[in-house]
Structure 1
Amino acid sequence: MVSKRVEAAIDNLLATTAISSAATPTNSESSVASSSPEHNLGGHTMSLPPHPASSWTIQMVAIRSHVPITLDLSESNYNQWRTFFNTVFRKFALGSHINTPSAQAPIDVEWVMIDFAIVNWLYTTVSKEILELVMKPGSIAYDVWHTIEGLFRDNRLTRAVYIEAEFCSLYQGDLTIMQYCFKLKHCTMSASQCVRRTNS
């Protein structure tokens, strides 16, 4: 269910007639990067945005250029998909949308517009089977993200058994030695990740 705060923000969004002009980045917004705080990440000093990118910027993002894979239950590619999205969330300072429930979020028109864009990103980068399981009217990014996560984290034992069976049934056939080794490595890594999460 969408919280009353989200509904109020949506109503405000629909009632606002000057959204497009208000969302257009100004000169002061474009100069934010120059005054961004520095952070040490992995031994490298990097500048990160002090606040999320504007809704205008987010709506112009071609998500497929940042997340080039489709999440699929049969592909064991959840970790890759999640890693791609985590880099996007860090790049545009959007982590609060998937880490903070709506009841704790500073919801306003700008927040709603950004959140709807993230929901669209998630819906368009998953398979039809996953989309049918997670798509609900009025969902916010936090709910969709954690529902997808639950599909993979809650079924990790079943997935580990499935991956083990796939590993045992692999044979080279017409594959090159490189392709065959890649498949073996992929199954091994996927099974290892499932086991680590089960024990954690």
Structure 2
Amino acid sequence: MANLHPAVTVTDIKNFIPITLEMENALYTPWSELFKIHCTAFQVLDHILPSPPPVAPSAAAGEAPPAPPPADPIWVKLDALVLQWIYGTISTDLLHTILKPKATAAQAWEALESIFLDNKSSRALYLQSRFSNLTLQSFLTASAYCQELKVLADQLANVDAPVSASQLVLQLINGLTGTRLDAVGMMLQQTKPLPDFYEARSRLILEETRQSQKPATDSPLHVPAAPTTPNAKFGLAIPQCIPGCFVEFKLHPWS
């Protein structure tokens, strides 16, 4: 047990990386960050981010180049383990896209990076448009709205179009215009200095919670008309008594 590599002790990768990377959910940034943290903790980061190989000595004229050193069996086993982690945390569609025989973990990692980070200029324009037009009205909760803003900001950073901390908060405020939390947005905008993203998010969620717990406005009390019973002797309609209600007596014309 003393010589057992830490990576071998991982029995369920989902306990460490609960995100499933899909083409549609655009969660490459948090997925890749969690994966790198996990690989660092279990001493296999070099399997997805390998160091540049050493320069091999050139062969003399007329001689065959030297053969590469034989693969270390332990390294091969660990690389296959990391490759399993990658395959186990992506969707079936992505798996079929990057799967190829004898691939290394680094090759699979690079393939995913190319899928999500290729063509940066076009992706930056698309993401910037989504970021600028995002509003609270498109979401059921303030938490979901803030989460989507943060995801888009992270994606913009990945395509070399980072969003500053103040831009993120200002866009959060801008997306509140005309919504149920418009008043909070005005308050945040007037705060000096501007609060950071997480403080602004906390205030939104607190106000949303307060509004959800606020009792509904009292509606006017509706009292149904009291049923009456005819009085043949006096020609009166005598209302039946309802506790707590005031009723009006009306005389019927004499028959």
Q: Which TM bucket (shorter chain)?
A: 0.5 to 0.7
Q: Which has the higher helix share?
A: 1
Q: Whose Rg is larger?
A: 2
Matched positions, count: 147
Q: Give the superposition deviation at 1:102.
A: 10
Q: Give the superposition deviation at 1:155.
A: 2.9
- Quote the residue 1:190 is aligned against: 155
- Quote the residue 2:197 is aligned against: none
The reply on whether 1:123 has 2:87 as its aligned counterpart is yes
Residues 26-37 of structure 1 aligned to structure 2 (within 5 Å): 28-29=2-3
Contact 1:59–1:114 under 8 Å retained in 2: no
The letter for the 1-side match of 2:3 is E
Unpaired runs of 5+ residues, structure 1, are 1-24, 31-52
- Quote the residue 2:77 is aligned against: 113
Unpaired runs of 5+ residues, structure 2, are 55-68, 163-255
- Quote the residue 1:18 is aligned against: none
Contact 2:17–2:89 under 8 Å retained in 1: yes
The reply on whether 1:76 has 2:26 as its aligned counterpart is yes
Among 123, 140, 146, which residue is 1:175 paired with? 140
The letter for the 2-side match of 1:74 is E
2:31 and 2:48 mapped to 1: Cα distance?
Answer: 15
Among 134, 142, 157, which residue is 2:106 paired with? 142
Q: Give the superposition deviation at 1:29.
A: 2.7
Cα pair distance change 1:188/1:141, threshold 3 Å: closer
Higher relative contact order by CA 8 Å / sep ≥ 6: 1 or 2?
A: 1
Give the percent of matched residue pairs that are identical in Structure 1 and Structure 2.
28
Give the CA RMSD over aligned residues: 2.9
Give the SS at the match of 2:100: coil
Contact 2:27–2:151 under 8 Å retained in 1: no
- Quote the residue 2:41 is aligned against: 91
The reply on whether 1:160 has 2:134 as its aligned counterpart is no
Residues 90-136 of structure 1: CA distance to partner in whole angstroms, max 9, x if unpaired?
A: 11111221233897787222111111111111111112222122100
1:101 and 1:107 mapped to 2: Cα distance?
Answer: 16
More off after superposition, 113-122 vs 124-133: 124-133
- Quote the residue 1:58 is aligned against: 8
Contact 1:59–1:117 under 8 Å retained in 2: no
- Quote the residue 1:67 is aligned against: 17
1:168 and 1:122 mapped to 2: Cα distance?
Answer: 33
Q: Give the superposition deviation at 1:63.
A: 0.7
The TM-score with structure 2 as length reference comes to 0.49
1:168 and 1:146 mapped to 2: Cα distance?
Answer: 30
Q: Give the superposition deviation at 1:59.
A: 6.2
